[in-house]
Amino acid sequence: MTMRIAVIGAGGVGGYFGGKLAHAGIDTTFIARGATLEALRTRGLRVESINGDFALERVNATDDPSSAGVVDAILMTVKSWQIPEAAARLAPMIGEDTVIVPLENGIDAPDVLAGILSGAAGSQPAGPDSGRKHVLGGLCGIVSFVVEPGHIRHIAAEPFVMFGELDNRTSERTQRLREAFESAGVKAEIPPDIHHSMWTKFLFIAPMSAIGALTRVPIGVWRAMPELRSLAERSIREMIALANARGVDPGADAFERTMERYDNLAAASTSSLQRDVMEGKPSELDAQIGAVVRLARESGVDTPVSELLYHCLLPQERRARGAL
């Protein structure tokens, strides 16, 4: 049975993964706006990739979710701080068994989505779980960016997606989505524990992004400096304690695995958050190291290094959002 998929956003993540699905002939609709929507409608989508370039002269793109109709899966690929606005418009695309997959850098996107969608999922009855039944845990890995609207460049790493039911049960709908990705040539995995996988990425991305944004140097510079390497190590250990306090075991070797990933990255690597901060744009600060601080306070866990990183970056974040 053919899947119908909607992609919310067409940036480095949505443009690449949505483009791969559409290029494989899977019914894919991009929900976009502004210059991106105009480019998709008039010029299509172009993807330059180390795995092979491709272009779509015509794509399905709209700024009106109701015109897309009910779909089988919705990929949420906007910046984390844009999720509330985007999620509030999803109801016309949600059917009985529609899944929403957040491919975000933060850890609490499923909870944010479920809260917003509760009572708003089409004809489903209102209630605390009416939104949660549609939400999967999810994450992705890719180094890509927007060259210009409708033009994506993938420059490093083998792209992959992971997703799973929030209770880790096996389901037909996740299997179908995995098969759709694989048919498009995208590595897709349903891990045994999606929360473990999400925290594994969170441990990696949050300290790296914060330290890179604060120092404004690529990872090859700061990981070689004992003072900054120590900050990363201490922040990771704080996050491991936080994960444990919230009932998630990232694994006995979580610290070593994270530091090994840092050491194996290309020396020039930077995160999207770091690049946004350096360009004076609003960033995912609150969803990454800010989420560490927020969740730690809720859980009674001390995170002094993560707090330092977050608070030092707050002034520029507020300036980028016109609040300073």
Q: Which CATH number covers residue 312?
A: 1.10.1040.10
pLDDT digits (tens, 9 = 90+) for 22-53: 999 999 999 999 999 999 999 999 999 999 99
* Judgement on whether residues 204 and 99 belong to the same structural domain of the protein: no
Q: Based on the domain organization, do 204 and 179 belong to the same domain?
A: no
Torsional class of 236: left (φ above 0), alpha (ψ -120 to 50), beta (otherwise): alpha
Boundary residue ending a domain (143, 162, 192): 192
The confidence score (pLDDT) of residue 129 equals 65
Q: Which domain holds residue 98?
A: 4-192
Phi, psi of 158 (to 5 degrees): -85, 115
pLDDT of residue 119: 54
Of the pLDDT bands very low, low, confident and very high (cuts 50, 70, 90), residue 125 is very low
**Domain end residue (candidates: 164, 192, 220):** 192
- Domain co-membership, 20 together with 135: yes
Whole-angstrom distance, CA of residue 284 vs CA of residue 274: 9
28 and 159 share one domain = yes
Residue whose tokens read 């995208």: 186
In the prediction, which pLDDT does 157 show?
Answer: 78
Residues in the chain: 324
pLDDT in tens, 161-219: 999 999 999 999 999 999 999 999 999 999 999 999 999 999 999 999 999 999 999 99
Band of residue 2 on the pLDDT scale cut at 50, 70, 90: confident
Domain count for the chain, please give it.
Answer: 2
Q: What confidence tier does 121 reach under pLDDT thresholds 50, 70, 90?
A: very low
Q: Mean of the per-residue pLDDT values for the chain?
A: 94
Residue 18, amino acid? G
pLDDT of 128: 52
Question: Interhelix angle for 304-320 vs 226-245, to 10°?
Answer: 100
Same domain, yes or no: 43 and 161: yes
Q: How confident is the model at residue 59 (pLDDT cuts 50, 70, 90)?
A: very high
Task: Give the mean pLDDT of 55-69.
Answer: 97
Q: What is the CATH number of the domain that holds 89?
A: 3.40.50.720
* Nearest alpha carbon to residue 235 among 218, 222, 217, 220: 222
Pairing, β 60-62 against β 54-56: unpaired
Q: In this structure, what token pair is assigned to residue 89?
A: 């418009």
Residue 123: is its pLDDT beyond 80?
A: no
Ramachandran region, residue 185 (left: φ > 0; alpha: ψ -120 to 50; beta: rest) = left
Same domain, 99 and 35: yes
Does the pLDDT of residue 320 top 80, yes or no? yes
Cα dihedral 176, 177, 183, 187, rounded to 10, equals -130
Do 211 and 141 share a structural domain? no
User: What are the tokens at 184?
Assistant: 């498009």
The model's confidence at residue 156, banded by pLDDT at 50, 70 and 90, is confident
289 with 210: CB under 8 angstroms? Answer: yes
Per-residue pLDDT at 270: 92
Residues 112 and 222 in one domain: no
Same domain, 179 and 282: no
Q: What is the pTM of this model?
A: 0.93
Contacts of 40 (CB under 8 A, 6+ apart): 10, 30, 32, 59, 61, 149, 150
Are residues 50 and 180 located together in one domain of the fold? yes
Over 90: is that where the pLDDT of 88 sits?
A: yes
Same domain (yes/no): 281, 206: yes
| Opening angle at CA 297, ends 292 and 301, nearest 5 | 80
Provide the token pair at 322.
């016109």
Last residue of a domain, one of 167, 192, 217: 192
Same domain, 164 and 188: yes
